[in-house]
Structure 1
Amino acid sequence: MDLALALDGLDAHPWAATTHAYGSAEDLPDVLRALAGDDEEAADEAVSELYGSVLHQGTVYAAGAEVAPFLARVAAAGHKSADLLRLLGDLAGSDDECGVEPGAVREAVAAQLPLMTASLTDADPAVRQAAVWALAQTRAVGTVLPELLDRWDAEREPLVRAELLGAVARLEPAAGAALAKTVLGPEQPARLRLAAVFAHLDAGEAWDAALHRAMLSSLPASPLGGEQLDLDRAEPLCAVVEALLRRGTDAETAAAGDLLDTALRDERAEVRAEAVWAADRACRLSRSAPERLLPALLPLVTADDAPGVLSLLANLGPIAAEAAPGLAELAEAGDDDVLADRALGVLALVAPDRAAPLLARGLGRRPRGLDAAAGFRAPQDVPFPFHHELLTAVRARLTEDDLSGNEPVQLARLLRQWGGRAAAALPELHGLLPRFPLPAAPALAAIAAESAPDERRRAARVLRESAPDAPLPVAQAHFELTGETDVLLARLAKELSEASGDVAGAARAAGRLGAAGEGAAGALRGALSGADARRITPVLDADVALADALWRITGDARTVVPVLDSVFARAAGEPWFRWSAIRAARVAASLGPAGRPLVPRLEALLEDLERVPAAVLALVAVADGESLDRRSLAGLLLTAAEREANASEACDALEALGPRALTDDHLRRLNDLAERDLRVIGSGLEDRIVHADERLRVRVRAVAATLRPTP
């Protein structure tokens, strides 16, 4: 292919009729001209632009089908061939499609197979490797597989042979496994042995001693993974362990543990680092992995291996309590403040009692330690232990001038958790209130409530005086301490009437007043959005909070039901309003039978698994009980939980449905959620996954015990 002919028809193509991630594809002719031009830097930038527009973060757009012929012709002309063949393969391989018929982009790439196939014999191994990748991603088995098998016999470059083996395994797993058996031995290059391991896994074959040896002999495998074009296997050990664990059998779970245990004990630091990374992933996937791997992990709590293993132990939390002695030793080391702070942060999560005195000695110099004790990383359901030395350190720190960022919030949270035991810190909190009212006010109220009467009176007076010009939480703190509503009601009226006010926050505060908040009802009604309001999440969420507050205060369903109905209508069919609809369903549940007009809206939510738990809870509360197909709803809830769709709320809804809603199969599925090795919670913040799953497991067991028929 002559490069001069590669862009034939470019200007006549109807680019304006197609789109990419940033809208109209009218810019693509200029991008393609830069791609085919003599300026190498501009050509590289053009490749990057195409990855950002037609294949944006893995999502393929309609314009991908339109550029495919031009990309294939430029590649066939020998210009940027490896880059463009890889891009063509990535376009064909994506199942995440936007604004295009399913499979249309893949078909457009497959139509270029005659041009791409010729690159299998290119002189450049990188081009041959990219051609193999591109051909396999088209999934045109009948056309591509014979070409790849023919090339297998002729190809001698190990990297390309490894790509060929992976490609054959993707297209025809049995054929891939057959080829893999011939290259699994120790005499073969490591990258080829590694490809053989994956080919066996792709074929679903049982893990055996030969695969175990081949995988271990390929370590360190990260450099090999970086040479492959399959990004899902860029960390080979991690990918193998995950594949074994996801099979869900006892044998392969044990095999994953044995593989990691051996690698964690390897004398080579780079192998141990890979193994720690893979062990972290294993612990977030498998409930048995922490116990299995801790004996091999504990010796790595040293300065040399700390970077990776500290993050892993933090993710485990109290499960890793055995690591406390090693962590404490690192936290007390004076030669590396950064490492000591990291270690203290982990110690605060795995053994907080042990961390408290060390945090006291380093307060002001241990931001990670403080964050783990009372910041974003701290458990939400377990307070940090009270310690006299730490209380003294907090009091001293509160008087210093360099407090900033999250530190005042974290220090105040510690004191608030301790309640009356922190009464000695009341003077410092009074001093903190003018500077940092948001964290200081709730802590002041919580501690004063458990202190001497004169301290309660002083705190009440200070909060009352500060509230008019301070943020809303100051007035809330005054109410929590005194039970008096006048200060809070005045502050709520101001918040609800100002254009810049926090309507949702004010509504939530008003709702907590119950009937005592009657004075805010008018302002709450006035803050409801009108017909001309923007259809955005903050507006919908504010309306939900206002409806909730009005119900709690007035019990007036005639006002509340239409508001919730409007929220459901505006959120319908829009995934980005999913949580607004869930919040509205939760409020609807509180209405009881008064919310019965909302039943059709709630039933519509059952089409989205994320919304199912809240919808079922609401239906049980508001619908005619005889109208509910409880067994069908139980099945939906179990499916939601199994797919990690609001699993904890699904447990609440199963309980609400009652024992008679569950069949024997439902009970089996419920038991599996609690007792299987593969975790139910697998996404979210990495350092919360294990804790969230363990908490869910306890909850599921409790629900199962409640719903299981008595003998």
Structure 2
Amino acid sequence: MAVRLGRDTVFRGIDEVDWASMEHAYGNAADVPELLRGLASPSPQERETALDGMYGAVHHQGDVYDSTLASIPFLFRLVGHVELPDRGGIVELLASIGGSDAGDGWGEHDEQDEQGEIADNDEVVPGQDAEDPEDDNHAMARAAVRAGAAVFLGLVPDGDAEVRRAVPSALVRFHDEPPRVLALLSRRLEDEPEDGVRLALVESLGLFARLYAESAAPAVDRLASLCAAPHHPGLRLAALGQLASCAPDRLPADLVPTVVALLHTRSQHFRPSGEPTRTSTDTLIGRLRRMRPADEEGAQLLRTLHRALGSRTADRIALLKGQLSSQDTDDRCNAVWMSAGLFREWRAAYEEPVALIGEQLGSDEERLRCAAVYVLEFLFTLAAPAADRLAALVESGPDSWGCGRATLGRPLKALARCGDARAVQPLAEVLRHPVVPNETGYTIGYLGPAAAPLAPLLRERLAEVPLDDPETYGRAAPLLSALGTLRYAAAVPEMLRLLHGTPRELRLRDALVRALAGALGAFGAGAREAIPALRELLAGESATAAADALWSVEGDAEAVLPPLLRALASESAGGDPRSAAEALGRMGTSAAPALPALRHLTDSTEVWERTAAACALWDISRDPEPVLPVFRAAWRQNPYTRGTITACLVRMGGAGGPVHDLVRAEIASPRRHRARSGGHGSHDVLEDERLLRDCRAALDAA
């Protein structure tokens, strides 16, 4: 029926659209009609594949193309036909195409504190048009979804629960009569039999209150009434989460005990739906559905509350402790995953929740253990309260840390990253394996001097790296990193073997040479055997790295200054002003001839070049006057520079006093300096903890 219906009604006029003249993420959009028709297929697998294709090409990563705009009328026709299954996913697609409002992103922080904005890239050049040419498409898409939003009104009582679950937020965001929408959703809340839909209706009340603050009072009052008995614990949790997001002053004083009690009560009565996975396609949507937690509803309820609480870290830690003490495995697993966002974004004392996460490593549930290891892995030294549990897991058998496989097990990686010497012996076993995972060398570096017994094994493995293999760099670079960290100069012959023996046409040879130079430089005078080889490199693509290493090994300023000055002034291919400035700074007063060029570089359009030049100016001249204004501007422009700046401020001591207001504000800030919406880095927590350490050291040195 769905196919006949699509041909006769839904897709009327589809062949009259010039799809071939349009584009999507992968080029010509001639295949869009097939995707749209696939949404009406009688086959669940075909419908899921088509929906995945719409997200993957027509609405790729939130983009809106001309083909996206042309699809909107057909998508509205699809959701309007009650005979068609899986329309809930199409409603969600339409809502995504329509875009989000500012109020949709509560709990996410695009802005930094008063010190400045998060910015991964350099600033917009003055006079440059900052408007995104795609904004017009997004605006037209939003207007089109708004124009068709009346269709959503008729879907509120739809017979398909998935449709009823998807519609409330779409109505709130796109219908142009907010009071009518609020009244309709409030009435539906009284009549709705499905718990999942009732939760979606509660979420829509919170969204309404955030988007329409001037008329939010009825929605807030309704949420407050839902927080109390005799409502179902899940519904009360949902209402508390939404209330926290839009009217935190209406929350009960005993919020955390109330939430923990509701959570435990709900868990005692919760039973997974037992519904089979609807499809088994190997699409992104299919994989995401299979990855959903057994208690997805519970995960969403607590995730909402955690996000709404934001910087209230004491409440969130207490809430996590309550979740992690639950008898229910799903509750504990959800808590572990939710802790990740807290740890990455906010600064606090996390010893207790980390220790509780460590206790989950003893669970019989593999997914709970895996979740715990995942979180502990990116905490680095903050994972120390769980180190005993990690060590026990590593000691429980080789399968837990990668022996017999070309991967480094996450428990062992987490144990090493927190600096625990109990990782040394199992890492030695990994190094003795015929195939050493590439990440092993980088992991060893976090152990510091405790890893010294591993140096001979690292040297042996470096001697076995082939000279002409496409993976030579990938295998050698981590080993070189570890050997450099351990300053194991006995490995110089093996390094020279690689330097002299790899063919010039080898893939990533220049990167390999730079890695070799970095390790040799770390050895200092212990690498004197490499001086002739380093001198030969001063005229090549790796001249900056070679000069930096040669200075460390030999200390010949006359030899290394010319290539560093050339690199400092060069903006062409092969030029590397930032690295050259950093190398010159390490030379100290011996690099005085570079001062004019470094002063010029402080006017660079690249924030990292300006920062490196300013650091070098201090290390060479000890004059803070040209340095501190650069630091202040870079600190505010790009928070990622703060670690480099603060390390220099430690060296400056009292001379850095005029910018110590930035340092004190950083220490006082509750939010991690790298926290941002839309993503995170694997080393964000580590770098933030290092920044805080150096901030305190800078103040102590003043």
Place the TM-score, normalised by the shorter chain, in its bin.
0.5 to 0.7
Shift of 1:196: 0.9
Q: Which has the larger radius of gyration?
A: 1
- Report the residue type matching 1:258 in the other structure: A
- Report the residue type matching 2:446 in the other structure: Q
Cα distance in 2 between the residues matched to 1:335 and 1:554: 48
Instruction: Verify the 8 A CA contact 1:257 1:293 in the aligned structure 2.
Output: yes
Structure 1 residue 382 corresponds to structure 2 residue 418: no
Counterparts of 1:350-499 in structure 2, within 5 Å, are 350=418, 352-354=420-422, 356=424, 363=429, 375-380=441-446, 382-385=448-451, 412=455, 429=460, 433=463, 463=493, 473-475=495-497, 491=500, 498=505
Cα distance in 1 between the residues matched to 2:496 and 2:620: 36
TM-score by length of 2: 0.68
Shift of 1:297: 4.7
Q: Which moved more, 1:172-181 or 1:326-335?
A: 326-335
Shift of 1:208: 3.5
Inter-CA distance 435–612: structure 2 relative to 1 (3 Å threshold): closer
Counterparts of 1:191-270 in structure 2, within 5 Å, are 191-206=234-249, 208-209=252-253, 211-213=255-257, 215-216=259-260, 217-218=262-263, 220=267, 235-244=300-309, 246-247=310-311, 252-270=312-330
1:613: which partner in 2?
A: 611
Shift of 1:669: 3.5
2:186 to 117, 142, 152: 152
Cα distance in 2 between the residues matched to 1:673 and 1:30: 54
Inter-CA distance 546–441: structure 2 relative to 1 (3 Å threshold): closer
Counterparts of 1:95-134 in structure 2, within 5 Å, are 99-101=134-136, 103-134=139-170
2:208 to 171, 182, 186: 171
Unaligned runs of 5+ in 2: 106-131, 274-287, 404-408, 468-474, 522-526, 551-556
Shift of 1:53: 0.9
Structure 1 residue 704 corresponds to structure 2 residue 699: yes
Instruction: Verify the 8 A CA contact 1:165 1:196 in the aligned structure 2.
Output: yes
2:281: which partner in 1?
A: none
- Report the residue type matching 1:697 in the other structure: L
Shift of 1:301: 5.0
Inter-CA distance 543–625: structure 2 relative to 1 (3 Å threshold): same
Give the secondary structure class of the aligned counterpart of 2:570.
Answer: helix
Cα distance in 2 between the residues matched to 1:163 and 1:679: 32
Cα distance in 2 between the residues matched to 1:674 and 1:653: 17
**1:438-457 superposed Cα distances (whole Å, 9 cap, x missing partner):** 76997999999999xxxx8x
Cα distance in 1 between the residues matched to 2:482 and 2:317: 49
**1:171-209 superposed Cα distances (whole Å, 9 cap, x missing partner):** 333524322112112422344223212211221514544
**1:551-584 superposed Cα distances (whole Å, 9 cap, x missing partner):** 9845337982587222599xxxxxxxxxx77557
Structure 1 residue 70 corresponds to structure 2 residue 84: no
Aligned length in residues:
596
1:52: which partner in 2?
A: 56
Inter-CA distance 151–60: structure 2 relative to 1 (3 Å threshold): same
2:96 to 90, 99, 106: 90
Shift of 1:266: 2.0
**1:276-312 superposed Cα distances (whole Å, 9 cap, x missing partner):** 3333443344443422425645654534377144444
Instruction: Verify the 8 A CA contact 2:564 2:584 in the aligned structure 1.
Output: no
Instruction: Verify the 8 A CA contact 2:578 2:609 in the aligned structure 1.
Output: yes
- Structure number with greater CO (CA < 8 Å, separation at least 6) is 2
Cα distance in 2 between the residues matched to 1:584 and 1:148: 62
1:187: which partner in 2?
A: 230
2:513: which partner in 1?
A: 506
Identity of aligned residues (%): 23
TM-score by length of 1: 0.67
Give the secondary structure class of the aligned counterpart of 1:187.
Answer: coil
Counterparts of 1:299-378 in structure 2, within 5 Å, are 300=360, 302-304=362-364, 307=369, 308-333=371-396, 346-350=414-418, 352-354=420-422, 356=424, 363=429, 375-378=441-444
Shift of 1:237: 2.6
Cα distance in 2 between the residues matched to 1:523 and 1:377: 29
Shift of 1:43: 3.4
Inter-CA distance 377–169: structure 2 relative to 1 (3 Å threshold): same
Cα RMSD for the two superposed structures = 5.3
Cα distance in 1 between the residues matched to 2:70 and 2:353: 50
Give the secondary structure class of the aligned counterpart of 2:230.
Answer: coil
- Report the residue type matching 2:89 in the other structure: D
Cα distance in 2 between the residues matched to 1:297 and 1:40: 39
Give the secondary structure class of the aligned counterpart of 2:326.
Answer: coil
Counterparts of 1:263-278 in structure 2, within 5 Å, are 263-278=323-338
Inter-CA distance 685–434: structure 2 relative to 1 (3 Å threshold): same
Shift of 1:668: 3.7
Cα distance in 2 between the residues matched to 1:693 and 1:699: 10
**1:390-413 superposed Cα distances (whole Å, 9 cap, x missing partner):** x6xxxxxxxxxxxxxxxxxxx556
Cα distance in 2 between the residues matched to 1:143 and 1:61: 28
Cα distance in 1 between the residues matched to 2:687 and 2:486: 33
Cα distance in 2 between the residues matched to 1:444 and 1:45: 45
- Report the residue type matching 1:127 in the other structure: V
**1:656-695 superposed Cα distances (whole Å, 9 cap, x missing partner):** 88867765xx534312323444333458987644433322
- Report the residue type matching 2:631 in the other structure: A
Cα distance in 2 between the residues matched to 1:87 and 1:196: 26
Cα distance in 2 between the residues matched to 1:612 and 1:559: 16
Inter-CA distance 600–240: structure 2 relative to 1 (3 Å threshold): farther
Structure 1 residue 634 corresponds to structure 2 residue 678: no
Cα distance in 1 between the residues matched to 2:485 and 2:208: 66
Give the secondary structure class of the aligned counterpart of 1:57.
Answer: helix
Cα distance in 2 between the residues matched to 1:37 and 1:147: 32
Cα distance in 2 between the residues matched to 1:192 and 1:163: 10
2:673: which partner in 1?
A: 680
Inter-CA distance 636–383: structure 2 relative to 1 (3 Å threshold): same
**1:594-619 superposed Cα distances (whole Å, 9 cap, x missing partner):** 4756877753535x6x6663465468
Unaligned runs of 5+ in 1: 392-410, 417-428, 468-472, 477-487, 529-541, 570-579
1:28: which partner in 2?
A: 32
Inter-CA distance 338–444: structure 2 relative to 1 (3 Å threshold): closer
1:407: which partner in 2?
A: none
